[in-house]
Structure 1
């Protein structure tokens, strides 16, 4: 029969300090977002995409820049679909070389 081992406080502190903080905090952020979304406190991704479409149609490239900027923020980028809105802007453009070049810049 093996004796039971107690986990010492030192081992717990070592584990906590070696745990990568960014992925762990991103997981916590994701779980909080899912919880808030299920409670109806934040809009669904479909509603955000329609909001971003309206932002692009109303403000054009400035709205596209704002969407791209918001996606670049560490945790907000997990919830905010900035790269999708850029692809959508290219899809909604008139297809001319000038408009595509402007979107690329």
Structure 2
């Protein structure tokens, strides 16, 4: 294998290291979301925005009514959403992965 090539994990063919689609099996290299393939910048921005908005909602709910159980429940849901944003951010930070159509 040449240093300037990479191997497709699905069909094992040698492809250009800059390629985002395998010419042999059409596998795609990128970040998969529920809405299809996205760029790293899109996934990172989504994760940061989700986390920031969730933490803001959590702080706002606790400040408005710190004693109300419903507000604490909403704050827990907001923190759970923030955790989802963190997990998404971490996955995007690990780099793109190869995906094959279903």
The alignment's TM-score, normalised by the length of structure 2, stands at 0.29
- Bigger radius of gyration, 1 or 2? 1
Higher helix share: 1
Q: Which has the higher contact order (CA 8 A, sep 6+)?
A: 2
Q: Which protein has the bigger strand share? A: 2
